[in-house]
Amino acid sequence: MSRVTLSRYLIEQTRSHNTPADLRFLIEVVARACKAISHQVSKGALGGVLGSLDSENVQGEVQKKLDVISNEILLEANEWGGHLAGMASEEMDNAYQIPGKYPKGAYLLVFDPLDGSSNIDVNVSVGTIFSVLRCPDEQQGETGDLGEDAFLQPGTEQVCAGYAIYGPQTMLMLTLGNGVKGFTLDRELGSFVLTHDTIKVPESTKEFAINMSNQRHWEAPVQRYVGELLAGESGPLGRNYNMRWIASMVADVHRILTRGGVFMYPRDGRDPAMPGKLRLMYEANPMAMIIEQAGGAATDGSQRILDIQPTSLHQRVPVFLGSKEEVLRITAYHRS
């Protein structure tokens, strides 16, 4: 049987679901950039790419060399093709303007170039998360700078979301709004090949993921819920749960897509100005779309993540996502 590469899958999507050619091109370019990032990540100490820089990003986090390299790979790959009106990234304070010498297009690309950077130096899986939005008509083709407000659209408006995971295998997980497909990088072929055709998050689970070291800072609903999970068989949920925390959202979400589970990064009391750690536009929204498309659920404790109206590019939100039964339970605890 012939293998279905990402390119072939996208062409079939154009035929069966009218995926526009420029969106197809955009995804191909992002995938190519992810291959280049995967290559850089895999060099490790041999490529001199590990370690930190002296700089900080807009969130005050120290940038790793690979954060900056990955950001540049994505910008350079995507700026010239004529399919984008602008880009935004975890690593840049403001929206990235397409240089005047290149044509502009209809889409916006938002990304976290290398999520889980704290894991790079210890050789644990990291990844690239991305989200594609349509540029509002009135801002397309405008001369002058594209404003931040063009990006501030709820996650329901995403036309595509995905992530690449750089682990024992490099994989690209993708949704165009009709299910989730998983592609594995065939390094001999140089292509992503469709290996996971039907991805479904089981409705119930016995596995949870949370950074337990923050327990003393959590709000009451999360204390209650995790307390019940830890109580196991003798508690109100009547069964034992297992815990995993990789501290790389891509790796934790990938496990959940593979075998179910619930992932939580709640708001906590450490910094009242910070409603959670994860960013809405390039972490929570793309992951929420992928999880929903695989039959799971994603909320911020009170509402569906995809319904949140963003107010700024680097906005943070609490995140609860994964197997439906558990996400609905913790959401109900927030409401009661």
Query: How buried is 269 (Cβ within 10 angstroms: 0-12 exposed, 13-18 middle, 19+ buried)?
Result: exposed
Q: How far is the CB of 24 from ligand AHM (least distance, A)?
A: 28
Minimum CB distance to Mg ion smaller for 13 or for 128: 128
Size of the site for ligand AHM (CB under 6 A): 13
Select the residue interacting with ligand AHM from 79, 91, 112, 292 (CB under 6 A). 112
Given the rule CB under 6 A, which of 74-82, 116-124, 151-159, 190-198 is the region that contacts ligand AHM? 116-124
**Taking Cα atoms as reference points, which of 227, 214, 201, 193 lies closest to residue 290?**
201
Indicate the angle between helix axes 220-231 and 324-335, nearest 10 degrees.
140
Q: Which of 59-82 are b and which e, b meaning 16 or more Cβ less than 10 Å from the residue's Cβ? A: eeeebbbbbbbbbebbbebbbebe
Report what 247 binds from Mg ion, ligand AHM, none; CB cut-off 5-8 Å by kind: ligand AHM
Please tell me whether residue 53 binds ligand AHM under the rule CB under 6 A.
no
Indicate the angle between helix axes 21-43 and 6-17, nearest 10 degrees.
160
Given the rule CB under 6 A, which of 17-25, 32-40, 111-119, 130-138 is the region that contacts ligand AHM? 111-119
Please tell me whether residue 115 binds ligand AHM under the rule CB under 6 A.
yes
Amino acid at 19: T
Please tell me whether residue 292 binds Mg ion under the rule CB under 5 A.
no
Q: Cβ(330)–Cβ(264) under 8 Å?
A: yes
Q: In whole angstroms, give the CA distance from residue 270 to residue 144.
A: 40
Outline where 113-179 has alpha helix (H). none
Minimum CB distance to Mg ion smaller for 126 or for 135: 126
Site for Mg ion in 91-120 (CB under 5 A): 112, 115
Given the rule CB under 6 A, which of 26-34, 172-180, 246-254, 305-313 is the region that contacts ligand AHM? 246-254
Chain residues binding Mg ion by CB under 5 A are 112, 115
Q: Which residues bind ligand AHM (CB under 6 A)?
A: 61, 90, 112, 115-118, 211, 247-249, 265, 277
